[in-house]
């Protein structure tokens, strides 16, 4: 179970994300996986410092967090829960998992992977975005179940994950962290079969945050996609980290606008940051010839602009102190 103290960091992050979820004005009780309602409740908590009762209950409720795994692209499946994402990317020589979930929800992740017809032995890499519990907390449980997988993160990511696990030792949110396996740096390529994942170090959310670029396939179309490793301005240790965050946003935006390999898809780590669940519902109703709603380059640009504005405001606050 996640205690209210843990939500301090989560809520601060959500404030940065909430502005990108359309229509985050609802005050209806939190139920289901509505991006606007989730963002609104996190925003309320961030402003008041008081945990909305329904938010706490919702985050710890397996039934509320459970959503059916679904196919985002021909080669990509969503296998996460409502508030935290996990992605499966299929290649011609095995499968890549992005992030591990945590606690009881790692069992959900395993069930979702199997529900999509994937054998755990076929997972060859686990790409982890950063060291926060909700993204790496399941690594220790998954490690013995994925005998052919390398677990991947930046060195700073491994360090912050180990530190986070040590800080929660024996507490209600305790998690174990595996020893560093595969350490990657900015610009590294990980090739598996017909797919290549390019590492982008994007510090800011944490110093060890990494984002991953790869291709997604939709019929006869191939699009460049990104999973941005972290968007929130929580765990900031000073102005230099906010400056690094701004640099990382600019770095991602340059990729989005790169004429050689324009990024048009954001498969996010927290779906309520870019209305992922609502796009999923549109995808379910998609008719032949309709565009894939997850292909949204302008939406990604708008999100990055919003994040940069928020970080600029935060930097002004940090430099006043």
Q: pLDDT tens-digit profile of 101-149?
A: 999 999 999 999 999 999 999 999 999 999 999 999 999 999 999 999 9
Residues of the chain with pLDDT > 90, as a percent, come to 76
Query: How far, in whole angstroms, is CA 237 from its chain's centroid?
Result: 21
Mean predicted confidence (pLDDT) in 56-66:
91
Q: To which residue do tokens 């449980």 refer? A: 141
Residue 8's pLDDT is 41
| Cβ neighbours of 309 (radius 10 Å) | 12
At 255, list the tokens: 């990729």
Q: What is the mean pLDDT of the chain?
A: 90
Range from 21-25, 187-191, 277-281 carrying the lowest mean pLDDT: 21-25
Show the domains of the chain with their CATH numbers.
4-320 (3.60.15.10)
pLDDT band at 1 (very low <50, low <70, confident <90, very high): low
Residue 27's pLDDT is 55
DSSP 3-state helix, strand, coil percentages of the chain (rounded to 5)? 40, 20, 40
Contact present, 205 and 236 (Cβ < 8 Å) = no
Mean predicted confidence (pLDDT) in 211-231:
97
- Measured CA to CA, the distance from residue 162 to residue 174 in angstroms comes to 12
For residue 158, pLDDT over 70 is answered with yes
- Measured CA to CA, the distance from residue 178 to residue 244 in angstroms comes to 27
Q: What are residue 156's phi and psi, to 5 degrees? A: -65, -35
* pLDDT tens digits along 3-27: 434 444 454 444 444 444 444 444 5
Range from 34-38, 51-55, 186-190, 288-292 carrying the lowest mean pLDDT: 51-55
* 95 strand-pairing partners: 90, 123
Give the pTM: 0.92
For residue 261, pLDDT over 80 is answered with yes
Q: Which residue has the higher pLDDT, 151 or 171?
A: 151
């Amino acid at each position: 179970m996640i205690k209210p103290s843990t939500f301090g960091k989560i809520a601060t992050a959500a404030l940065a994300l909430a502005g990108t979820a359309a229509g985050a004005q609802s005050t209806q009780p939190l139920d289901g996986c509505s991006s606007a309602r989730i963002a609104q409740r996190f925003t309320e908590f961030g402003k008041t410092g008081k945990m909305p009762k329904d938010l706490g209950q919702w985050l710890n409720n397996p039934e509320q967090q459970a959503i059916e795994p679904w196919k985002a692209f021909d080669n990509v499946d969503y296998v996460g829960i409502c508030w935290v994402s996990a992605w499966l990317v299929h290649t011609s020589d095995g499968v890549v998992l992005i992030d591990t979930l945590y606690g009881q929800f790692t069992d959900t992740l395993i069930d979702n992977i199997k529900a999509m017809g994937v054998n755990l032995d076929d997972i060859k890499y686990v790409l982890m975005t950063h060291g926060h519990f909700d993204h790496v907390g399941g690594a220790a449980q998954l490690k013995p179940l994925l005998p052919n997988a390398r677990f991947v993160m930046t060195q700073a990511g491994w360090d912050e994950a180990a530190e986070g696990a040590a800080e929660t030792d024996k507490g209600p949110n305790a998690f174990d962290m595996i020893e560093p396996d595969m350490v990657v740096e900015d610009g590294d390529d990980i090739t598996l079969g017909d797919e290549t994942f390019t590492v982008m170090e994007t510090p800011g959310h944490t110093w060890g945050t990494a984002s991953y670029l790869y291709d997604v396939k939709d019929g006869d179309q191939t699009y460049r996609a990104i999973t941005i490793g972290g968007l929130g301005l929580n765990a900031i240790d000073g102005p230099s980290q906010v400056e690094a965050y701004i640099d990382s946003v600019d770095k991602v935006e340059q990729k989005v606008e790169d004429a050689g390999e324009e990024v048009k898809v954001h498969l996010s780590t927290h779906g309520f940051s870019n209305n992922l669940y609502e796009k999923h519902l549109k995808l379910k109703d998609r008719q032949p010839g309709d565009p894939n709603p997850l292909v949204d380059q302008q939406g990604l640009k708008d999100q990055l602009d919003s994040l940069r504005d928020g970080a600029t405001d935060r930097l002004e606050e940090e430099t006043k102190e």
